[in-house]
Structure 1
Amino acid sequence: MSGTGKFCVSITHAKNDTDKATVGFVVANAAAGSDQDTMVFLSTEGVRLAEKGYADDIHEEGFAPLAELMSNFVVADGQVYVCAPCVKKRGIEPENLIDGATVVGGAKLVEFLADGTPSVSY
């Protein structure tokens, strides 16, 4: 994506707080739609969102269904990075991740943010 800047949304929640998980992807879509090179970093419990089928039944009132928000984000060239140790701890197999999700170490997040890229967390 040839955006004018970069933006990071860190999401640490899944079904333990579907509101935060949903709003995180709403903001990520807004950033991607504003020509920002946007990355969602899923860590701790948030990595569960990257598992195929997991988000299919999450639909917060007043928002699009989470699976739709996630799919739209990937279609908009958003990057979904998933914390490698967090995935391993939860026994999630990399081949069971949604399209567009990439398992990475913490260094990838540091690299993305090192130039002062703005980041919000949910």
Structure 2
Amino acid sequence: MESSKLLIISTIGQENHEKATLPFVLATASQSLDVEVVMFLQSSAVVLAKKGEAEKVRAEGFAPLGELFDTFMDMGGKLYLCSPCIKERDIAPGDLVDGVQIGAAGTLVHEVMSADSVVTY
């Protein structure tokens, strides 16, 4: 497969375990095919990047989200969190797992324009 970049935007958090897990399933599958993957979490999805929160999400038929999250990061995935979304939820940078980055609309626009494909959840 030719080198390419996929941007995944997710807005679903712990309120729906299956929809919270699916973006990470796609991300890790894409990484296994040597696709560069960038994820941007918005809305309630930002909570998944708090220490210990992804481990609470388990969707029937899928690997636990905590494992998928770790695999995504270990395989070099880039993960951005919506800065207004974390502020709204009183999430401090120290509450977040290692390796995540905080971005606003400008960051998202840059990632959208530089990606070969964009998928939203």
Partner of 2:75: 76
**4+ runs of 1 displaced by more than 4 Å?**
none
Please give the TM-score of this superposition, normalised by the length of structure 2. Answer: 0.93
Q: State, as a whole percentage, how many aligned pairs show the same letter.
A: 36
Please give the TM-score of this superposition, normalised by the length of structure 1. Answer: 0.93
Task: Show the 5 A alignment for 1:1-122.
Answer: 4-115=3-114, 117-122=116-121
Q: Mark the runs of 5 or more structure 2 residues left unpaired by the alignment.
A: none
Superposition CA RMSD, Å: 1.3
Counterpart residue type for residue 51 of structure 1:
K
Distance in 1 between the 2:66 and 2:99 partners? 13
Q: Deviations over 1:33-52 (max 9, x none)?
A: 11111111100111001111
Q: Mark the runs of 5 or more structure 1 residues left unpaired by the alignment.
A: none
Deviation at 1:117, TM superposition (A): 2.5
Counterpart residue type for residue 17 of structure 1:
N
Distance in 2 between the 1:41 and 1:63 partners? 21
Deviation at 1:115, TM superposition (A): 3.6
Counterpart residue type for residue 94 of structure 2:
E
| Distance 1:40-1:115 versus aligned 2 partners, 3 A rule | closer
Distance in 1 between the 2:53 and 2:78 partners? 18
Deviation at 1:30, TM superposition (A): 1.1
Distance in 2 between the 1:108 and 1:36 partners? 20
Deviation at 1:116, TM superposition (A): 5.1
Distance in 2 between the 1:115 and 1:72 partners? 24
